[in-house]
A and B are shown apart, each in its own frame.
Chain A
Amino acid sequence: MQCDEIAELLPGIVDGGEIADRRIQRHVESCLRCQAELVQYRKLLKALHLLRTEVLEPAPGLLTEILAGLEAAGERRAMRSLLNGRNAAYAGGTAAALAAGAVGVAFLAHRRRLSLAS
């Protein structure tokens, strides 16, 4: 394998994300240029890892903005749930009235059948 081919693979091999097969390993072991490049990639990963613990200063007022946005979203949600609740209560009331009506009609029909029979 040529150095150019290996160079394309090194960014994936450096953290073990991709496996270096025997041919690649043999080349890197015998090639100073590829070894040097691999070392530089390792340094890069270490440098990137330095940023893991860094927390940047948030923009002023950001927390207030986030909380205000959540408050507004919470109010919208509460309003929706209230409206949904009212709709459900209305639907329930209508269903109950219809059911009561149906029972009443059935009762009257039953009484009429009894009086006709006697």
Chain B
Amino acid sequence: MPTEVGDLVVAAKAGDRAAFDELVKATYAQTYTLALRLTHDEEDARDVVQEAYLRAFKGLKKFREDAQFTTWLYRITANCAATHLGKGNRHRHEDIDDQSQLFDERPEVDPEASADASLLRDRVSTALSHLPPRLRAVVVLRDIYDLPHEEIARELGITEAAAKVRLHRARKQLRERLFPLRGEEQAHAV
């Protein structure tokens, strides 16, 4: 049984089911991380991950090995999350207007003063969770997973121009929340 992802992909493409199971074991935590970042709901993230692996399993023959398997899997996961959130009713409350203000319940904190990477990660994760899902998806895929605009647009079913507009809005809202300029702090310290 091969152990490297590349070898496992080759074996799985040749019909080796055990190799595909090994691929799942090697990548499911990362896939779950992305799904959770996109959905911000554990139950939804589980559904998205399951669906993503089923689609990957069915579409594995189409995977071209010049790309990274994980990047391909991330694209599938993003697509599944977009579909899942699109048809979900439980998330209507999250579907607020892109321009709405984010409310920071906590006292003002200077991220530089905290100087703690894990604390900063927590703050970024919290700020991401306050974004509307469609803005969150774009900024997560672009700035954390480094997917190009073109692929993000394709997987989310939007135009490239729309993807860029959403990215701008997401970055602006995150910047105002996490790194406010003088005068912006009060607007978010509601």
A residues neighboring B (CB under 8 Å): 8, 11-12, 14-15, 17, 33, 36-37, 40-41, 43-45, 47-52, 54-59, 62-63, 65-67, 69-70, 73-74
B34 CB to closest chain A CB (Å) equals 9
Instruction: Of the listed stretches B75-83, B87-95, B100-108, B118-126, name the one at the interface; the rest are far from the partner chain.
Output: B118-126
> Are B124 and A48 in contact, with the CB atoms below 8 A?
yes
> Are A45 and B143 in contact, with the CB atoms below 8 A?
yes
**Which secondary structure dominates chain A's binding surface?**
helix
> Are B144 and A51 in contact, with the CB atoms below 8 A?
yes
Q: Is B21 an interface residue when CB atoms closer than 8 A count as contact?
A: yes
Q: Which 8 A-B pairs have the closest CB atoms?
A: A40-B179, A11-B171, A48-B143, A11-B168, A58-B32, A56-B33, A44-B175, A51-B144
> Are A50 and B171 in contact, with the CB atoms below 8 A?
no
Most chain B CB within a 10 A radius of its CB, from A40, A47, A55, A65: A47
User: Chain B: which residue is nearest A15 at the CB level?
Assistant: B143
Interface residue tally of chain B, by bracket? 35 or more
B116 CB to closest chain A CB (Å) equals 11
> Are B36 and A56 in contact, with the CB atoms below 8 A?
yes
User: Chain B: which residue is nearest A41 at the CB level?
Assistant: B175
Can you list 20 residue pairs at the A/B interface with Cβ under 8 Å?
A15-B143, A33-B181, A37-B175, A44-B178, A44-B179, A47-B111, A48-B124, A48-B139, A51-B124, A54-B33, A55-B30, A59-B42, A59-B46, A62-B32, A62-B46, A63-B25, A66-B24, A70-B21, A70-B53, A74-B17
Residues of B near A69 (CB, < 8 A) are 50, 53-54
Known A-B contacts A45-B143, A49-B144, A66-B50; the reply to A56 vs B124 at CB < 8 A is no
In angstroms, Cα B130 to Cα A6, docked, is 25
Residues of A near B178 (CB, < 8 A) are 43-44, 47
B residues neighboring A (CB under 8 Å): 17, 20-21, 24-25, 28-30, 32-33, 36-37, 42, 45-46, 49-50, 53-54, 57-58, 111-112, 117, 120-121, 123-125, 139, 143-146, 149, 164, 167-169, 171-172, 174-175, 178-181
Contact with A65, one of B50, B123, B172 (Cβ below 8 angstroms): B50
In angstroms, Cα B120 to Cα A54, docked, is 12
In angstroms, Cα B60 to Cα A70, docked, is 13
> Are A70 and B24 in contact, with the CB atoms below 8 A?
yes
In angstroms, Cα B33 to Cα A58, docked, is 7
